[in-house]
Each structure stands twice: as C-alpha cells, then as structure tokens.
Amino acid sequence: MKERITVTLNKHLLSDLDNLIDGVSIRNRSHAIEFLLKKALNRKKLKKAYILAGGKGTRLRPITYEIPKPMVPIKGRPILEHTIELLRKYDVRDVIITIGYLGEKIKEYFGDGSKFGVKITYIEEDEALGTAGALRLAKPLLDETFIMFNGDNLVNIDIESLYEFHKQGKAKATIALTTVDDPTSYGVAVLEGPRIKAFLEKPKNPPSKLINAGVYILEPEIIDLVPKGPSMIETDVFPQILEQGKLFGYPFEGQWLPTDNTERYERAIKEWRGIT
C-alpha cells in the first residue's frame, strides 16, 4: 500500500529531480522521489521472473496448431511480449521462460532478450510438467524471491507493491487476486486479513469472487514442496503453504484478461489497453 505525503523542496533541487523524469523508467516527480529514496536506503528489489510458456493451448485451436499460445498476437504483439514489457517497466530484467510445445518459435522471436531490454534464459520441457512441475527444472536459477506468471494472461499490475506486500507479510507465496463476475472456472480465494484461509480450484459454489490471476511472488524454498513428475502449484503446493499460514492474497484493480480460449481471446483483443 502507498500513502500520500507532501514534500517541500528547494527550486534547484526540484529542477534536478525533474531532469530524472523520462516518462518511461521514471514517470513523474513522485516516482523520482521514490526511486531516489529506495536507492539511498539500499532497498532490496525484485530481480527475477519465471514465465510458464510451454502449454499447447488446445482451447485456442486451430490458431495454436502453428503458433504457441504465448505467441498469439494482441494489438500486433505476442501475449508474452506484453508480460516482458510489464517486467521491464518495474526493472525486473532477469527472465526465465519455460518452453515446450513449438518452443523454438518463442526462442526465434525473443532470442536472448536483449532487443526487449531483458536477459532471457530458456528451460525446455521434454514432457508437460504442469504449473509446479516446471519449477523443479529451474531450481538452480531460482535462488531468490521471484515473480511467476502464467504465460497466457494479459495483466497490468503494480509489481513493486505486490513484492512489498509479500515481504511485509513474510509470506512464502503471494497470489495476485482479481475479481470476476463468474468465478466457477478459476481458482477462488477466501481471505482472512492478508492471508488466504481457503483456496478452491473451480468450485461449483464459489465462496468469493476473488480469483487467482496467475501472477505469484514466491520464495525459492517452495520448490522443495513440489512433488516429482507433473504437478500443479494450485493443487499440489499451495495447500501445503496454506497449512503453514504463509499463503497470502493480494487483491489488485489493474487490468487482467485471460486468453485461454477463443471467446476470451476475442475479448482481450478488444479490451486490452496495454502497459501504462
């Protein structure tokens, strides 16, 4: 959470502050002051991102017969590129991507990531391992707190605030939560304060409208909870963390659009406003 304060500055200092604003990495005076304070206080920041991009996208066929799901275009650019743009906005530059089905097309487009302002490392799945199983492959690279994305969602979230919320609560896992009218086809969370007290996958009678947005802040030790072979973070890992009281939920109001079937994909094309 952020709070508004009033700051009085010398005109010459204010002029120096304005010179930092480029409209991209530093957007305004408030952002410039926050940037300088964090630098002065040597605050630890989020550095690594892990993106799940190995799915076959069967519900998007026939499109995904030739195009991997994360490469399906929205506003003229692949879904995955919008996620990388969000990461770059918050200066998360170390990106690990799990690829599988038609993964070579993802590698051909993004390369080492340098053209997109990030460094990309690829982890290749020989078989589909699910949202948790794939984490085991990347364990040597995930040695600090990291953010994980499902590769088929479009999301505009304040990563910095999400990370700070996670650290303040000393959580092991924090799930970004958004609200939908019909939550029956999603993972639904019930909150007790900042903690998740129940997490139900696709319930027939949802106890809330807060759903899993497919964005997580995770501590590296949660990988040790992943069983061998194919597994899902929602059903095989989160229940263990919930029992420990270390599973937190972060409701946010930024735009979120899934693209996992043709109906949702069409809506995303019409409604996505981009990273701002």
Cα distance between residue 34 and residue 23, in whole Å:
15
Report the catalytic residues.
Answer: 202
DSSP letters along the chain, please?
----------HHHHHHHHTT--SSSS-SHHHHHHHHHHHHHT-----EEEEEE----GGGTTGGGTS-GGGSEETTEEHHHHHHHHHHHTT--EEEEEE-TTHHHHHHHHTTSGGGTSEEEEEE-SS--HHHHHHHHTTTT--S-EEEEETTEEE---HHHHHHHHHHTT-SEEEEEEE-S-GGGSEEEEEETTEEEEEEES-SS-S-SEEEEEEEEE-GGGGGGSPSSS--IIIIIHHHHHHTT-EEEEE--S-EEE-SSHHHHHHHHHH-----
